[in-house]
Chain A
């Protein structure tokens, strides 16, 4: 690890003020610190969001679940309010990494990091959530823009994510046996605006499977997905799974998610 200046601001505004070109925000550190330890990242300043009051709050208000940026995966998994409103979300959080990772890793870090194999992005996109920052709100459909890329500006801090409560939803993950990140993860949600199917792990970024959504809007059952597959052309092709296998898994996981969501 290279030398850096450590900051622990007491408010979001103070944190924003500390941001510079070579600074990094630190949440749970589960993605950032390994890259620093391996000397792959060399931030001049590390701005720890852990001391900002209220940033980890979780609340459920009628039809919306709101989760603060620094809420840990463990706290989301253990929240009875979340489990009561969107059980699929609590379930997703409980399947991220291992106990140690869940105890420090945060939703804000995961969503801002936009790892193509991360779990949370599937929920954000699958539920049509809204990402809140210090300066604006961003719809899920506009948030994830590429491999490890989001709509966040350099001096923008993700403050919370609000999820509309769906009629039914489920997340099914086919984990990489080594890292246990998603080789393919499919989040299916039946919402008042129709069915949403978000796929993580399979491509360069989380994406919606529109063909599947159309089929499920017509008939919310696993059999509606028979013969419907995502094209393998743009999918990841690596040591762990070929694009063809991933495409197949998307269909299998989507069906299982629909079944788990009661379809």
Chain B
């Protein structure tokens, strides 16, 4: 169609009217009749035995409805939380999955661990009562860093996990890598820390459990990116209720970034407790609770070595990573530092031999799981800092070194040594586009100008790759996933021509209500204002696997296209009947059915009407125009691009100003360029946040979270960013009907390495993230002293 509202148009987001006018309906906006309020008593200690819990006084406090502890859950046969991805260690052992009770039973393992759940008529009463609970703790010495947890004699977080080792996993051909290093003319080696992050979705997590004793149904309202998965897990593994008696509703959700994929203790307890007290119960996290109990992101210690020949051609890459899992395994935690990470270590390059070893370890910290990018930012960060370091070591320009090693545009499909088959791309084009955007030719003059003002200027590159559109069920199944990762869609015409699309994807900021509607407008000719997207309710949407891994358009959108195909197919039969032609002669385009070679035509709206008012209708055809499709992709998609950061540093104070940013990304076909650009902006903002500002710090002795509020945890703000220069180069993805690759995580994947490389370029020495002002100042001092 390529109209003003079809594919390729920057349609204004339909959902923004309600968001911008305060009419969004987030979880805390929902209240159920007779609702009670729940508060979690949380552990003040990082690691302690619970010797006793006395709730007697608290139970007598005004307004208290019930107080539950881990023992009550266990007595009801409610299982622990699960991790849904099985990883096999290199010795063949399955990963260690220690018990993860929704409320601690005899031991608390991180600050904020749930100890009791207090339900009262009002929130204030629940809080008052929680203060009256007496818990007798026996404090134990905690361990918070992944590296420390592996040391001999380290505190044991779980008795049944010797040495705190969850798994010791490997990928790649170690012998081939050893041979590559033996033949290398040069080896670059780095220790790299990928800092721990708190997701900080604007809307904190929340849940309402609502039980109907007449129907025995539980309705769980929860801030989820994937309500059907929550239902599946809570039914099949936790035992809250059978799937047909559990409805999960995730209404407007104010940001997730991965942290709302997981099935958490709090919604589990709310769903269970609602039945116990036969009354709705609501819990809403306070910001301090979010800091302590949302699954955190990243936290990798890595040593990487890159072997090169005399011309800088990459021969082999060896990567050893210690990944901090936190105190328990969150829902997909095991997959993040393994299959979502090491499989991307080829980056955009032809490195023929790669070997990665990952040790996942338990510590007395909040669980760590997928956070915008999930494993892939960690991979890009390692590869791109190594490449830039190698360029410096070899005295080759970082642009030239990358170009010597890029996979050629005609080499697809390209098989990497770490089990991925890249589908399409044009890496040199992205580099050249980004160089133009940043005016690379003018860089030397800009640097000289900065220096004339006593400032240091640096430029840094990041040629990132990601595997998105997660993913083919057979592939992820063979790698250990406990679920299939298809998506479903239902396209329902109403008799009067409007369309409702039910999608298993979940929008929590991505703009699905607009992008998905554009697909219908483009292919079925329905005006965009007559298309409604419905999501987030297992009672409405047939099925779904949710939104993460930049999969909504590539997988969810493709499911919509499959349902559209079915609509068209059925529509042709109806149209043939209406026009007294044979089905084979009916052609369809943009919602108009024509008899080939004639000027006879009927519109989709007429066909839909006939399907619901089938007075004149094919005798052997079902009435109705309502089709459901499931789509399971055949491969991941591989968005890639080059980001270039330019910084100016004040060596006197260590202040880093990000003065310019260029991004050239290949997302395949683009449905809504404005939304894509917005996703890049948000992703880059998070990436800059990680590199410059954000850092979750636990005290190494007490295990307390030192950065537990916005007084100490630095969220990026608008004035921390330059205006971003964003372009896309669109190599269509061959793997799905839309030719799309996904764009939601790219910015967060690309940005940290680009920024850190720019800072390193300016300073001349390497520092770890986050590049705080003091760290930068000290580095600048060191360099200056060395020069003197």
**A178 and B714 form a contact (CB under 8 A):** yes
Q: Which of B667-716 contact A (CB under 8 A)?
A: 693, 697, 706-707, 710-715
**A248 and B777 form a contact (CB under 8 A):** yes
Which one of B131, B711, B777 lies within 8 Å of A245 (CB-CB)? B777
**A252 and B652 form a contact (CB under 8 A):** yes
A226 to chain B, nearest CB (A): 13
Q: Which of B128, B715, B773 has the most CB of A within 10 A?
A: B773
Q: Which of A32-64 contact B (CB under 8 A)?
A: 38-39
Q: Is the interface of B mostly helix, strand, loop or mixed?
A: loop
Q: Which of A1-46 contact B (CB under 8 A)?
A: 1-3, 38-39
Is B774's beta carbon under 8 Å from chain A?
A: yes
A117 closest partner in B (C-beta): B711
B774 closest partner in A (C-beta): A245
Q: Could you say which residues of chain A place their CB within 8 Å of the CB of B653?
A: 174, 249, 252
Q: Which of A219-260 contact B (CB under 8 A)?
A: 239-242, 245, 248-249, 252
Is B185's beta carbon under 8 Å from chain A?
A: no
Q: Could you say which residues of chain A place their CB within 8 Å of the CB of B778?
A: 245
**B712 and A179 form a contact (CB under 8 A):** yes
Complex: A252 Cα to B706 Cα, angstroms: 28
B131 closest partner in A (C-beta): A39
**A239 and B711 form a contact (CB under 8 A):** no
Complex: A187 Cα to B129 Cα, angstroms: 47
Is B288's beta carbon under 8 Å from chain A?
A: yes
Complex: A25 Cα to B653 Cα, angstroms: 38
B706 closest partner in A (C-beta): A239
Q: Which of A132-148 contact B (CB under 8 A)?
A: none
Q: Could you say which residues of chain A place their CB within 8 Å of the CB of B712?
A: 178-179, 239-240
Q: Could you say which residues of chain A place their CB within 8 Å of the CB of B124?
A: 1, 3
Q: Could you say which residues of chain B place their CB within 8 Å of the CB of A39?
A: 127, 131
Complex: A240 Cα to B777 Cα, angstroms: 13
Supposing A239-B697, A239-B707 touch, asked if A178 and B713 sit within 8 A by C-beta, the answer is yes
Q: Could you say which residues of chain B place their CB within 8 Å of the CB of A177?
A: 693, 714, 773
**A241 and B774 form a contact (CB under 8 A):** yes
Complex: A249 Cα to B131 Cα, angstroms: 43
Binary contact readout B119-142 vs A (1 if CB under 8 angstroms, 0 otherwise): 000001001100100000000000
Complex: A4 Cα to B454 Cα, angstroms: 56
Complex: A175 Cα to B703 Cα, angstroms: 27
A174 closest partner in B (C-beta): B653
Q: Which of B109-167 contact A (CB under 8 A)?
A: 124, 127-128, 131
Binary contact readout B298-329 vs A (1 if CB under 8 angstroms, 0 otherwise): 00000000000000000000000000000000
**A178 and B127 form a contact (CB under 8 A):** no
Task: Please report the total number of A residues contacting B with Cβ < 8 Å.
Answer: 17
Complex: A177 Cα to B656 Cα, angstroms: 12
* Interface bracket on B: 20 to 34
B713 closest partner in A (C-beta): A178
B124 closest partner in A (C-beta): A1
Complex: A174 Cα to B131 Cα, angstroms: 39
Q: Is the interface of A mostly helix, strand, loop or mixed?
A: loop
B86 to chain A, nearest CB (A): 38
B357 to chain A, nearest CB (A): 32
B252 to chain A, nearest CB (A): 24
B714 to chain A, nearest CB (A): 4
Q: Could you say which residues of chain B place their CB within 8 Å of the CB of A178?
A: 693, 710-715
Q: Could you say which residues of chain B place their CB within 8 Å of the CB of A179?
A: 710-712
Which one of B288, B697, B774 lies within 8 Å of A38 (CB-CB)? B288
A239 to chain B, nearest CB (A): 6
B654 closest partner in A (C-beta): A245
B692 closest partner in A (C-beta): A177
B721 to chain A, nearest CB (A): 13
B370 to chain A, nearest CB (A): 25
B695 closest partner in A (C-beta): A239
**B710 and A242 form a contact (CB under 8 A):** no
Q: Could you say which residues of chain B place their CB within 8 Å of the CB of A241?
A: 773-774
Complex: A74 Cα to B134 Cα, angstroms: 46
A246 closest partner in B (C-beta): B774
B45 to chain A, nearest CB (A): 19
Complex: A177 Cα to B774 Cα, angstroms: 12
A94 to chain B, nearest CB (A): 14
Complex: A249 Cα to B773 Cα, angstroms: 11
B757 to chain A, nearest CB (A): 21
B278 to chain A, nearest CB (A): 29
Q: Could you say which residues of chain B place their CB within 8 Å of the CB of A174?
A: 653
Complex: A1 Cα to B128 Cα, angstroms: 9
Q: Could you say which residues of chain A place their CB within 8 Å of the CB of B697?
A: 239
Complex: A116 Cα to B715 Cα, angstroms: 22
B781 closest partner in A (C-beta): A248
A58 to chain B, nearest CB (A): 28
A249 closest partner in B (C-beta): B653
Complex: A242 Cα to B693 Cα, angstroms: 17
Complex: A252 Cα to B454 Cα, angstroms: 14
Q: Could you say which residues of chain A place their CB within 8 Å of the CB of B127?
A: 39
Q: Could you say which residues of chain A place their CB within 8 Å of the CB of B714?
A: 177-178
Complex: A179 Cα to B710 Cα, angstroms: 6
B704 to chain A, nearest CB (A): 12
Complex: A80 Cα to B653 Cα, angstroms: 32
A172 to chain B, nearest CB (A): 11
B132 to chain A, nearest CB (A): 13
Q: Which of B691-749 contact A (CB under 8 A)?
A: 693, 697, 706-707, 710-715
Which one of A1, A2, A3, A242 lies within 8 Å of B774 (CB-CB)? A242
Q: Which of B128, B693, B710, B711 has the most CB of A within 10 A?
A: B711
Q: Could you say which residues of chain A place their CB within 8 Å of the CB of B288?
A: 38
Q: Could you say which residues of chain B place their CB within 8 Å of the CB of A1?
A: 124
Complex: A157 Cα to B773 Cα, angstroms: 39
B81 to chain A, nearest CB (A): 28
B693 closest partner in A (C-beta): A177
Complex: A39 Cα to B707 Cα, angstroms: 19
Complex: A174 Cα to B653 Cα, angstroms: 9
B760 to chain A, nearest CB (A): 20
Q: Could you say which residues of chain A place their CB within 8 Å of the CB of B707?
A: 239
Q: Could you say which residues of chain B place their CB within 8 Å of the CB of A252?
A: 652-653
Complex: A245 Cα to B655 Cα, angstroms: 13
Binary contact readout B743-781 vs A (1 if CB under 8 angstroms, 0 otherwise): 000000000000000000000000000000110011000
Q: Could you say which residues of chain B place their CB within 8 Å of the CB of A245?
A: 774, 777-778
A240 closest partner in B (C-beta): B712
Complex: A175 Cα to B58 Cα, angstroms: 43
Complex: A177 Cα to B713 Cα, angstroms: 9
B246 to chain A, nearest CB (A): 34
A118 to chain B, nearest CB (A): 13
B684 to chain A, nearest CB (A): 18
Complex: A84 Cα to B392 Cα, angstroms: 54
A199 to chain B, nearest CB (A): 16
B658 to chain A, nearest CB (A): 13
Complex: A128 Cα to B140 Cα, angstroms: 52
A115 to chain B, nearest CB (A): 11
B285 to chain A, nearest CB (A): 14
Complex: A231 Cα to B93 Cα, angstroms: 57
Complex: A4 Cα to B710 Cα, angstroms: 27
B655 closest partner in A (C-beta): A174
A252 to chain B, nearest CB (A): 5
Complex: A174 Cα to B654 Cα, angstroms: 11
Complex: A249 Cα to B697 Cα, angstroms: 24
Q: Could you say which residues of chain A place their CB within 8 Å of the CB of B713?
A: 178
Binary contact readout A156-195 vs B (1 if CB under 8 angstroms, 0 otherwise): 0000000000000000001001110000000000000000
User: Which 7 residue pairs are nearest across A and B when measured between Cβ atoms?
Assistant: A178-B714, A179-B711, A177-B714, A245-B774, A252-B652, A178-B712, A239-B706
Subset of 6 A-B contacts with CB under 8 Å: A178-B711, A178-B715, A240-B774, A241-B773, A241-B774, A245-B778
Q: A39-B131, A178-B711 are in contact. List 20 more A-B contacts (CB 8 A).
A: A1-B124, A38-B288, A39-B127, A177-B693, A177-B714, A177-B773, A178-B693, A178-B713, A179-B710, A179-B711, A179-B712, A239-B697, A239-B706, A239-B712, A240-B712, A240-B774, A242-B774, A245-B777, A245-B778, A249-B653
